[in-house]
Amino acid sequence: MKIDFSQKAYQNLDEIAAYIYTQSKSKAITAQHIRKLQNYIHFALSNFPKIGRPAEEFGEGIRKLVFQRYSILYIIHSTHIDIVAIYRENLPEI
């Protein structure tokens, strides 16, 4: 199944990459991390589109998939999947 990233999702990936680069100071580590995230999204959703839980709190038809503390919001259509947004989950306060 085809996977399309929204403009917002691409912006989120840029922000995630900027954060990783700030922390690591390494373009290679940053690229590797973003590639790993994108590969997971493509593999998981292409093979198991309903793997994420329904997340109606974000809007009608939206599902949420979590990978390494990143939430991926997406919508399943008959011909493709739209990635709506990607954001980092906050660590719980104890």
Question: Residue 10's pLDDT is what?
Answer: 96
Q: Work out the angle at residue 25's Cα, subtended by the Cα atoms of residues 44 and 40, and round it to the nearest 5 degrees.
A: 5
Q: Is residue 74 part of a domain?
A: yes
Report pLDDT digits (tens) over 40-83.
999 999 999 999 999 999 999 999 999 999 999 999 999 999 99
pLDDT at 90: 67
Q: Which domain holds residue 22?
A: 2-88
CATH number of the domain encompassing residue 70: 3.30.2310.20
Which token pair is 70? Answer: 């990143």
Q: Is residue 39 part of a domain?
A: yes
Residue 39: C-alpha distances to residues 21, 32, 78, 91 (Å): 19, 10, 22, 24
Q: Are 2 and 49 in contact (CB under 8 A)?
A: no
